[in-house]
Amino acid sequence: MRKFYGTDLPNPLMLGTAQYPSPAILEEAFRASGAGVATVSLRREGAGGAGQTFWQMIRDLGVYILPNTAGCHTVKEAVTTAQMAREVFGTDWIKLELIGHTDSLQPDVFQLVEAARILSEDGFQVFPYTTEDLIVGERLLEAGCEVLMPWGAPIGSGRGLNNEYGLRAMRAEFPDTPLVVDAGIGLPSHAAHAMELGYDAVLLNTAVARAGDPALMAKAMAQAVEAGRLAYEADPIEARDMAEASTPVIGKAFL
């Protein structure tokens, strides 16, 4: 496992905290998943008693907190939200989301790079939600990011990996950069596939939070990312167009 801004994660699964039927089910899902990171929205934290109860529950999970700028559409809004999140959650980590398209929730990569540079210069450790575009990836690294988080598919769509070629190309282009597939994961097989491509972690939320049994799905996702990582490290065989006999013909009797 690669380090994320110098931090070793106990598990390559990162889990969101939104949309769960109840706080109790959220906690059960997290414990079943063994996830090492919880993404938290500043809006979800809120103010008053409910917000404080939620924040205490997240702290009790003993995981790393990754605040996000979900719902931001401008550089100013994202930077301000990140600064507030650092004060509330006491961490320099920030998942930088800057949405450019309303229907697909595709990131606005032009504003994303600008915001990433501002936040990096301000001491933030930025986890940018981006596309699989290689040039954008280069610009984000030049802006100070040490992690890239390309989408698998639109947020909450559950479609899996829409552009496997692009994700493979990003892994090949940035072999020493921690890469996380973020968004679009719907099934454990999607998560395993991402890890089989050589990605270092998977971030998901909706697939677990809105499953009929969130805790069971969380456990399935945890096992999937572990299996996918082991498969990648095992150096799997290449796909072939033709059959290749697994039983040797040397020594076979010819009648």
DSSP code, position 148: B
Cross-strand pairs, 127: 95
Determine the residue type at 25.
Answer: I
- Are 151 and 184 spatial neighbours (Cβ–Cβ below 8 Å)? yes
For residue 112, what is the enclosing H or E element? helix 109-121
Helix (H, G, I), strand (E, B) or coil at 130: strand
Strand order from edge to edge, sheet including 149-150 = 149-150, 125-130, 93-96, 64-68, 37-41, 13-16, 201-204, 180-182
Residues 6+ apart with CB under 8 A from 111: 74, 75, 78, 98, 100
**CA torsion angle for 107, 110, 111, 117 (degrees, to 10)?**
110
95 is catalytic: yes
Out of 76, 95, 219, 252, pick the active-site residue.
95
DSSP string, 21-65: S-HHHHHHHHHHHT-SEEEEEHHHH-SHHHHHHHHHHHHHTT-EE
Give the active site residues: 95
